[in-house]
Amino acid sequence: MTDKRPLHQDEPLEGDIGPAAPGGPGTATTGLGASYDFGSPKERRAALRRYEAEREERRRRVDAASGRIASMLVAALLAFMTFDSGRTAVQAHARGDDWLFPPGVLAAVCGIAFVVVIARVLRRGPMQVK
C-alpha cells in the first residue's frame, strides 16, 4: 500500500542527511537554496555573469585539450599510414611490381596530410580553440 499523505516541504526525503532549508517569507527564493542568496538583484546578476564566464573558460580549456588529443591521434595514424605505405612501395619496387600506384601515392597523400595536421597544431598554439 502506498501512503496517500501529501509531502510537506519541510519533511526530509529518503536519503536526506539534514533538515530542509527554512523557506520562510523573509528568505529570497532563487531556487538554489539559502546559501546562494547574493542579496540585491544587481549582485545576483553579477554573480551569474561571473559564473557564466568561469564556465565558458572551463569549456574553452576542455575543448582545447580534447582538440590537441584528437589532433595527436590523427597525426599518429597518418604517420603509421605513411610508414606502412612507403614500406609497401619499396617492397613492391624491389619485386618489380606496381609501386607508384596505389602504395606510393597513398604514402605521399598521408605524408602531406601528416605535415598539414602538425602545422595546424603548432600554428594554433596551446590554448587557442577554433
The domain limits of the chain are 37-124
Q: What is the pLDDT of residue 9?
A: 60
Tens-digit pLDDT profile for residues 40-62: 999 999 999 999 999 999 999 99
pTM (whole model) above 0.85: no
> What is the average pLDDT across 77-95?
96
Cβ(102)–Cβ(96) below 8 Å: no
Residue type, 27: T
- Kindly state the cell numbers that stand for 23: 523557506
Q: What is the pLDDT of residue 39?
A: 81
Sequence-separated (6 or more) residues with CB below 8 Å from residue 37: 27, 28, 30
Tens-digit pLDDT profile for residues 93-121: 999 999 899 999 999 999 999 999 999 98
* Dist CA 46 CA 50 (whole Å): 6
Q: What is the pLDDT of residue 125?
A: 74
Tens-digit pLDDT profile for residues 117-127: 999 988 887 65
Tell me the pLDDT of the chain averaged across its residues. 82
* Dist CA 82 CA 69 (whole Å): 20
Measured from the Cβ of residue 51, the count of other Cβ atoms closer than 10 Å reads 10
